[in-house]
Structure 1
Amino acid sequence: MANLAIIPARGGSKRIPRKNIKSFLGKPIIAYSIEAALNSNLFDEVMVSTDDEEIAEIAIKYGAKVPFLRSEKNADDYASTVDVIIEVVETYKNNDKLFDYVCCIYPTAPFVTVQKLNKSLELIKSKLLDTVFPVIQYSFPVQRAMRAFEKDFIRMIQPEYMGARSQDLEPTYHDAGQFYWLKTEKIVLQRKLWTDCTGYIEINELEAQDIDTETDWKIAELKYKMMADAGEKNPI
């Protein structure tokens, strides 16, 4: 079976300029995703989908392929991850290259490891799933979430859980924002990342960090250093 790694990295980041190639502890952050994919030996090809010549040059420097640039249509603020993946898959198909599974690895995910990629691929195959991705359990029960109303007031969204013990509430999770293993034919057919046949691997809060601000960036570097000190950093 053939596997393709797609790392989507457009050039127009707004909140953190040039985010996808900004230095993260000494090298462009996209390099961590590229090297994790290459070192996993899971992929027939590791490619970066970008509209940006500088990003393409850096991607190639670290071992990825950039066989074509992303279309203008899928390089704006409104293009979805699914749009980008399908464009890549269909372009390869037009060049007689077919892949059974695709793994979309985000370019700002330095916590992706070979072990996580392997575990997720094993799961999608063994359970015959359409999608597998890492999730993190919410640290506070979402059943006790509150919303503000009027000017100075706040109330629970689900007041029936006011007196419930935390340990009695069902755990809930959120997407870790690192990667998605996808069965190619399913994503092309349904044009969405999640289907009714989606699985997950659970990771902890130290193993991931949303990076949308400069503060997030600093927190991510601190977490990475902590994992490196514990001998858990990405084996690259």
Structure 2
Amino acid sequence: MVFWGLVLARGSSKSIPHKNIQLLDNKPLIGWVLEPMKNSAVFDDIWVSTDDKQIASIAQSYGVKVHDRSQESATDSSSSLAAILEFIKTHRGADQICLVQCTSPFLREQYLKSAYHLMIDQKYDSVFSVYRSHCLRWSIGLNALNFDEHCRPRRQDWTGEYVESGHFYCFTTALVQNDGILQGGKCGVIEIPKKFCLEIDDMFDLQLAKYYRNFF
């Protein structure tokens, strides 16, 4: 079984210009995921799919391969699925792919190893990262979504819910090509402590991540 790591890194970003290479403790954001990917030693190849020459150069400095992402799959309205399908069509050979997101700078290699063992050793079709939430959710119409308002659960009596952490999504190439989904079939999760689940979406998140680095 051939297991590849893939990072999608567009050059443009509405929230932060060149977000994927913004510096966090003097290291580009993309470096914070490429290093644990390499250190995990579970990938036969690691690829960065980008439409940006600067991002491509930085990716190559980490010793990974670069896919020249088309302009059509790199617009603000382009889906990750479209970019993945383009990559798979261009580069054949992987049985499983792990999509890792640049916006998760607190990724740890042990979580990638755990995902690898589910995918390879236990033959899962898809595995993705989550954290556990005990939030009580309401719809915009003020309807309780995940609890009975007449019997509010105590935190200690409730196992909570899984929320996608955004760190990574592992899947078989067959699942994506045949069903057009990233999560399905024999599906599993890797639970990650919430303290590692900050996603960089705007400048506030980036500044918060710089503060968090002092504790990890």
Does the 8 Å contact 2:147/2:153 carry over to 1? no
Contact 1:4–1:103 (Cα < 8 Å) also in 2: yes
Going from structure 1 to structure 2, the CA distance change for 1:63 and 1:162 (only over 3 Å counts) comes to farther
Larger relative helix fraction: 1
Distance 2:40 2:146 in 1: 44
CA contact (8 A) 1:34 1:63 kept: no
Give the alignment's TM-score, normalised by structure 2: 0.91
**Alignment-derived partner of residue 118 in structure 2:** 123
Judge conservation of contact 1:206–1:223 (CA < 8 Å) in 2: no
Counterpart of 1:84 in structure 2: which amino acid? A
Q: Does 1:209 align with 2:198?
A: yes
Which residue in 2 is equivalent to 1:135?
130
| Counterpart residue identity of residue 192, structure 1 | I
Residue 88 of structure 1 aligns to a residue in which SS? helix
Deviations 1:73-122 (A, max 9, x none): 101012111211121111012xxxx1111111112222122111101111
Aligned residues: 215
In the other structure, the counterpart of 1:231 is none
SS in 1 for 2:55: helix
Superposition pairs of residues 45-60 of structure 1, within 5 angstroms: 45-60=45-60
- 1:1-236 pair list within 5 angstroms: 1-66=1-66, 68-93=67-92, 98-140=93-135, 142=136, 145-147=137-139, 156-157=144-145, 160-166=148-154, 167-227=156-216
Amino acid corresponding to residue 129 of structure 2 in structure 1: P
The structure with the larger Rg is 1
Q: Is the 2:165–2:197 contact (alpha carbons within 8 Å) kept by the matching residues of 1?
A: yes
SS of the aligned residue for 2:170 comes to strand
Q: Distance in 1 between matches of 2:145 and 2:113?
A: 39
Shift of 1:155: 6.1
The TM-score normalised by the length of structure 1 is 0.84
Residues of 2 paired with 1:111 and 1:216: CA distance? Answer: 12
The runs of 5 or more residues in structure 2 that have no matched partner are none
**Conserved 8 A contact 1:207-1:223:** no
Question: How much is the aligned-residue C-alpha RMSD, in angstroms?
Answer: 1.9
Identity %: 32
